[in-house]
Amino acid sequence: MIWLRSDLQFYIITKRIDRFKVNLPQDWDDGYENVTICSTCETQEMAEYRLPILLSLPINIDFHRIN
């Protein structure tokens, strides 16, 4: 659905960012222009665990890069 509806912006917000690559579509490459990926961090400990993972992912658009 996300691929078909390139006219819409999709936001995927997860605390399980470490599972992000589990079911990526074959044509994901660096992501889709219409998908923003975010990860929640409820504590400093979780931020220290999740943010490096988020920064290393093949993501085209995400909140940490938006000014």
Query: Can you say whether the dihedral through the CA atoms of 30, 65, 54, 35 is positive or negative?
Result: negative
Between the alpha carbon of residue 15 and those of residues 2, 29, 30, 59, the distances in Å are 20, 22, 20, 16
**Is the confidence at residue 47, as pLDDT, over 90?**
yes
> pLDDT tens digits, residue range 3-35?
899 999 999 999 999 999 998 899 999 888 899
Average pLDDT over the chain reads 87
